Structure 1
Amino acid sequence: MSANKEADGGWKTFVWNSEKREFLGRTGSSWFKILLFYLIFYGCLAGIFIGTIQALLLTLSNYTPTYQDRVAPPGLSHTPRSEKSEIAFNMNDPVTYDKYIKSMTSFLEKYDENVQVDAGKFDDCPDKPSAPIKRGDLETDKTMRRACRFSRSLLGVCSGETDPSFGFKEGKPCLIVKLNRIVNYIPRPIQDNATLSPAVQARQKPNLIPLHCTNKREGEEGLVGDIKYYGFEGGFPLQYYPYYGKLVHPQYLQPLVAIHFTNLTMKTDVRIECHVYGDNIDTSEKDRYQGRFDVKITISL
């Protein structure tokens, strides 16, 4: 019984020693010194951290990415997007392809002509592929840039204007393809086309980055059938480049290419691969959207 009292008394004494006026083994003066030390210590660490971040921010531009050379330009993407790059639908059941129609309709809304009427924001650029239109240097000129108009009517039957189902209702689906935006990037047409297939060579035009789609797996040419291309001669015209970033070029419209599959084989998984060709456009096995993409389309009845 006495041992418990002594133990209890020892614990209470450690918390508060009335004789030495110590709390948890330290006097008030000792607590003040150690708290002041840690306050100064962590204050200095916070100051160093904030100073380092501020110094780093001074080297960054709000308009031009500092380390843009680490980006592998450019990505090629398509609408509608789908899980695992698979588009499957029943042409006789609108519910199965309604999500694809909604995705394409939403994407093309900013390409409506009534959105591009402001002459202070948009230009009428050449209606044929032409040289890049440079609108000043971002380092010295931070004024707003105007963008080239791009009417969705250029996409023909894939514009959604004459066929709101974008071909899905007839089992002849469309895909809308774009090059992803990279600030100050200008694609360069291929100069030496000796390594390109005859089909790609036939699609080459001056001031145009051609897009070409074909079967991904060998021996399946007949499954893909005929593909029609809409837009600027089925490629990306250079007059829409460069892009100057969302701060000074917020209304920028990327040029689009529509691909229309007119006679895909039904009830079969058809794997299609699309490439864009340029001197400064590479592909990578590690990135399925770098300069290319592939998609599997399955149409049931």
Structure 2
Amino acid sequence: MSANKNADGGWKSFIWNSEKKEFLGRTGCSWFKIFIFYVIFYGCLAGIFIGTIQAMLMTLSNFKPTYQDRVAPPGLSHFPRPDKAEISYSIKEESYKPYVDHIKKFLKAYDPENQIDTTKFDDCGEQLKTYTDRGPLESDEGVRKACRFDRAWLKDCAGIEKKDEDFGFKEGKPCLIVKLNRIVNFRPRPPSSNDSIPEPAHPNVQPNLIPIHCTNKREEDAEHLGPIEYFGLGPGFPLQYYPYYGKLLHPNYLQPLVAVKFHNITRGYEMRIECKVYGENIYYNEKDRYQGRFDIKITINS
């Protein structure tokens, strides 16, 4: 019994020693000194951390990325964009309806009624022009206007008229809506000559245009792919829609579009198609199938 009492007394004495006025083995003065030490210590650490963050923020801009050397310009996207880049359907509405709905949702922003506000949008014309310079990124000009792009320019692939409201899917002549991905302050440069462009793509080369060309991916598929037609302000992307100034300065920006219509894909055949854009500062990477190009499989069943 006495041993237990001594043990209990030792444990209680460690918690609070009334004779020495110690709590957990330290006096109030000792605890105060430790508290002040750690306040100063962690205060210094917090100050160093905040200082380094502030120094880093001083090197960053709200409008322009400080480093763009690892950005691979530019990506090429298409709509509809199904999983695994495969479009497969039969000539039944329930089969192709998801693709049609996807395109309609994307093109909603290109409706004329959404581009009426003259404080947000400019008419940049239907003729091909050079870049639209809206001042430097770091300036006090504020939010910049965006060029209007009327979806009616996509003609047979606009989805406006009754005859093309299904974007050609119903008649087995599907459309793809193609765009270049946005990169802040990027100015795509048209090819300076036709030397680096395949001969079939030469007709698409025009001044002030980044040309696009679609063809069969595999040589053996050539006989299964019929004529291809391009709709927009040309068979490519007009320069007057560049550069893009970023989300803060260009919140209403609309990318120029190109509609690609495939007129005669053999029914029941898995057609693999590749589309590429051509320019002096547009590159390709075999590891990234959407850098400057894309390939897609289209199968139209009876």
Q: Shorter-chain TM-score: what band?
A: over 0.9
User: 1:1-301, aligned counterparts within 5 Å?
Assistant: 2-92=2-92, 94-162=93-161, 163-301=164-302
Q: Confirm or deny: 8 A CA contact 1:208 1:237 kept in the other structure.
A: yes
Distance 1:267 1:44, change over 3 A: same
Aligned partners of 1:10 and 1:294: how far apart in 2? 79
User: How many angstroms does 1:141 deviate by?
Assistant: 4.0
Aligned partners of 2:287 and 2:6: how far apart in 1? 71
Aligned partners of 2:40 and 2:21: how far apart in 1? 26
SS at structure 1 position matched to 2:141: coil
Aligned partners of 1:204 and 1:279: how far apart in 2? 13
Aligned partners of 1:216 and 1:4: how far apart in 2? 88
User: How many angstroms does 1:270 deviate by?
Assistant: 1.9
TM-score with structure 1 setting the length: 0.92
Aligned partners of 1:272 and 1:7: how far apart in 2? 84
Moved more, 44-53 or 136-145: 136-145
Note the aligned Cα RMSD (angstroms): 1.9
Deviations 1:54-91 (A, max 9, x none): 22212211111111233111111111122221222222
SS at structure 2 position matched to 1:246: helix
Distance 1:8 1:96, change over 3 A: farther
User: How many angstroms does 1:260 deviate by?
Assistant: 0.9
Deviations 1:255-299 (A, max 9, x none): 100011222222232221111100000011222211111112222
User: How many angstroms does 1:212 deviate by?
Assistant: 0.8
Given residue 203 of structure 2, which amino acid in structure 1 is its aligned partner? A
Distance 1:198 1:24, change over 3 A: same
Distance 1:31 1:89, change over 3 A: farther
SS at structure 2 position matched to 1:266: coil
User: How many angstroms does 1:24 deviate by?
Assistant: 2.5
Distance 1:2 1:204, change over 3 A: same
Aligned partners of 2:266 and 2:34: how far apart in 1? 79
Moved more, 264-273 or 151-160: 264-273
Q: Confirm or deny: 8 A CA contact 2:197 2:278 kept in the other structure.
A: no
Q: Percent of aligned pairs with the same residue?
A: 62
Q: Which runs of 5+ in 2 are unaligned?
A: none
Q: Which runs of 5+ in 1 are unaligned?
A: none
User: How many angstroms does 1:97 deviate by?
Assistant: 2.5
User: How many angstroms does 1:208 deviate by?
Assistant: 0.8
User: How many angstroms does 1:3 deviate by?
Assistant: 4.6
Aligned partners of 1:151 and 1:41: how far apart in 2? 62
User: How many angstroms does 1:7 deviate by?
Assistant: 4.0
Aligned partners of 1:119 and 1:74: how far apart in 2? 29
SS at structure 1 position matched to 2:204: coil
Moved more, 250-259 or 98-107: 98-107
Deviations 1:69-125 (A, max 9, x none): 331111111111222212222221x23322222221111111111122222322222
TM-score with structure 2 setting the length: 0.92
SS at structure 2 position matched to 1:128: coil
